[in-house]
């Protein structure tokens, strides 16, 4: 079986696939509702990114976690937090905000 995705990009690839699947499922049937609430979704993503911007460098400097340099793109924030971490936080917080809005507050309350 050919290796289409280099192993050092496997985490980023899985993150992109998960983002595509979860957002496609949520937005396909609830697009109008989510579009009306896009300010809430953007606020959640902004707060999550701010939290990541503050806490991840602290954890990295304390050596609470490590990222293998050969498994990331090589763009680092303060030398300890890879850019993929910020992308991951945006994907997870956006999907969570969309899911909470759909399952908790929409008329349909289902995908």
pLDDT at 42: 98
| pLDDT at residue 71 is higher than 90 | no
Given pLDDT bands bounded at 50, 70 and 90, which one contains residue 1?
very low
pLDDT at 69: 82
Token pair 């490590």: residue? 66
Given pLDDT bands bounded at 50, 70 and 90, which one contains residue 40?
very high
Find all residues with CB under 8 Å of 89, minimum gap 6, and list them. Answer: 48, 49, 51, 52
């Amino acid at each position: 079986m050919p290796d289409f995705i280099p192993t050092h990009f496997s985490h980023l690839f899985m993150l992109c696939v998960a983002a595509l699947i979860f957002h496609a499922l949520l937005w396909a049937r609830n697009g109008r509702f989510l579009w009306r609430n896009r300010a809430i979704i953007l606020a959640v993503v902004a707060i999550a990114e701010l939290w990541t911007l503050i806490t991840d460098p602290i954890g990295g400097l304390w050596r609470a976690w490590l990222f293998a340099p050969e498994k990331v793109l090589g763009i680092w924030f303060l030398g300890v937090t890879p850019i993929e971490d910020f992308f991951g936080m945006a994907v997870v917080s956006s999907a969570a905000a969309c899911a909470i809005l759909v399952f908790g507050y929409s008329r349909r309350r289902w995908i």
